[in-house]
Chain A
């Protein structure tokens, strides 16, 4: 069976290309694919006949419980027969129907139809519910694509979207049900789920599982109140309507219900709900079928009524209901597909849609008229057609079930309406009203006439010669649905039975409806309340409300005010922190008070004073200076507390920030107009203060709970022994955590690329701007300072492994040297002094840092394991860590110079 699906899938992708090559009759060749599958299926009939079940599969993702398992039993077999047989006819028919389309469009249609066939086969063959779900969703998507086949028509697009919304909602429900089942019983096997139906229903999620399954089935099979998508789906080309929206896809809901009957039957409300929904569907659709003006919509509403009957039969208990369901499934698929084909031929021939405009077409389309007659007789349940037999079964099932007579009465009425519709759609277009149509655009061809004729004939042949189909398809299917073998006796004449008498009533009423169709139709059409209360309208309103609502919400959330965004973020952080602290019952601890030294405290307060000054200062210059004051004070604090590396880096950064921000401040206006009112400022202060208060409490709590850090201890012990470095901070950066550092270096390189991209730059070193007018003393000392700083940056880089220093701070120092050069003599001079484009330095540095890890890789050690070489005891050890650090140095130097020169040049423009 796996190979069937594979052939079907591959074939669906390749075979339709024939339609691009062959102008006429490609459909007959393409139909060989579904036909071949049909023949292969027939050859397995002896296995099915004995009541055996064929299985196949392979483990796909076993850890998820997802095994690609397939199962072919009687019920699946019946579906597969219908899908392949009607699939073959649809391909042939489509060739005639789409004759006026371009080869590319025909080929696209055939591809979609065959892909849909694959999806259908997969759905009914799947044993694992996840696999079934996958194919189930594929049918929804393909249905969407086929309904919207005429993508230029707005109505087709709308109908396609509506069908997708409804059926995809059902798909989500099915997903939920499958997940809940898998969660409950630990497997996604459908057989296992059905076997453990009582346990499923007894579980806490039992009701949810049943509700989700019912919703999935009702949406797919267009049951009230989800029925409205199906009449709209008639926007699809008629062959697709015949295939998807009457014969096969819409029956998947029935398939699902029949498979899970033991599950929903185990709840107290399952059967009641199914039967009530089925009855409502039947009534609503029968009414609408009488109101329908178009050939196709009359068929669509009668299809919904038939689906209602099928759902009703699944809901009823007793073996007769199963027999009736399977029998009616087959009969309906045969006659309704034929009728759709006929409707398609009429539309193709005349271009008319309205039933009232048609008449006397039997003269032009004799074969179609014959097929329509045969199919309609079957639909009306006239003996000896198969429709008659299935109707007998239907009444027998209702009489035998333990149900009251209301559903029976509804079934009688609905069947009478179906007789009426069958009569109207045959007599009006083809036989009555001669002369309404005087000429047709397209005459019938073999491709257009043969499929409906074959289907209509099948309806007759099966009822007269029921032996093979009963043995190999119907009886195994009933057994699979009911759970044990049931006697299935197909015969036209059973003697005078209550069922026969009911049939008589139905046919008599139906004849009256045909006779008085026009007044009934016009009277019903006049009741426009039915249109106003249509579910479709509410659906549309709901959708519009959703879109308007989300638009309003978006406008509210995306207001475009940066300050309010940030306020929201900060306030949310405060609230979340407080909430988690309260929820966890955490109370902050306080550290043991220790001595407070005067000098460090004063420096810390200078930092705080700087921060306050920066916050309240009016002028941007003052704010910048105050910010620098804070930075420098923090750097001194680092220095006082055993962190010389940090102090060095912070000093360099603060110095560079002054240079860079001055370039910025020279361009923008310094006196900043007030952008916040006093109320806003107070509010901002409150939020910022709240955040800081929470933060302070957290940090104090953290300081109170000191525990020795194992990782710091490890690095302290191994730094010299394993990594040949005495400065532990630097060893961590270039060796122990070199990969982290590599990432951070990359961030800086990316920032440089960003700055270069944002700032339009003149061609490198072709700046002709005159040097700035600087003070004489600065011009005198500029060059010596440059060399001094450059040399010291190299020293800092080199000694970093054993003493404070390293690549980061070295790079910053070197950049500072270039900054002095550009301040004293202008950017052009600084660029010339650099010799190369700073972006080159960034690239080179990245390359060095990346390559320094490769030697270890070659020796089979992890990437970025630093290697060392000690030539002699009096020579310094050299290692790849130095190359890495050099890379960092170059990246930082290149990046900062890119920022510096870019900002200075842009500001001066």
Chain B
């Protein structure tokens, strides 16, 4: 394989990373003149087209000595991540332009997104580590980019938790490498497939440490401590990026490592990791929803809600490990719908908080009369987060729960019961917010509407939530194709 072909295999990620360099240099050469926003969008469209090229030209297989692999799974996440980043960037224009750090904001978003795309296609512990840390470090800076008190605090907390969990993850990687003698996921899979009981304990130690490290990225309890603080303290556009793209990438790599590397259902350790993810999922749902009940700040509420949602995906991971055949596709489908839903909710919050000048739920009173579009999108997305038909969230939850029941383990049925109860609990705080939006008297009379581009992505996200809810088949079959690669 020639050097160009190797680079071709990481094309989408490269386009985004080069785009980041271009944005930075454009700002250096022509300070405050170039449309950094436009350049960023061009880079994202370029990355999207490159991924599309991969998909249509049938590019596949390993490159760079097996460090990365191009497959349906990686492409699925490349599309999800790039589309989500595109929407976030479109909606952030009002917030970012005119700030001193606009160039840094756009450049770091691109670095982070590019490394996430690389993360989803990486196939080797070293690549995973480097890609993961590149996205994380860019996000640490992004969280504090506004340089205000709260942002700085959020950034420092995010960074310290992130650094500790990265070190724990690495310790796990070191053990996996030491036991299997290779850093390639395929090599580790071969080793696990033929290993005997004697290696069970060191393997368990390795994957518990790895799960702890990834738990931070996925925001599963007990590694969720940073979530509410960062969601509340960091600028809203950055938070929306974290909550969709970063989370999708985190789950992508967990699926890849645990499913490809450590073996889905059927290896001698799969029961262990099924139980582990089951416990984490239950804890995340319970703590996430309990924390959200008391919140008055919308971003903090969405933070706790994202912990609970991660718990739902955790049910899917447990089902995957227990050998459910529809489990992996269920997880991918859930992530796809979650990204659309949370994007819609966050873009609505970005647009609203810009004008309201507040993130308090009380200030959303009567939003439906002040800005009907924002209110309607927000309500659609909140319904989807609750899991009420005909929205995408309903189908996604159904799919995940179905996968868990299909695995045929009694304790998984119990886990689903916990999930259903938690859906009921979550309805309380989502509906309370919706009631404030619809029923309460507005505090002020003046109305507002967001910028045209923001309206566009907001409506696209809201429509996606409804369309996926009514016609889930295309996304489901895409998820199934992507999941088939892992088997």
Indicate whether A and B interact.
Answer: no
Residues of A near any B CB (own CB < 8 A): none
Residues of B near any A CB (own CB < 8 A): none
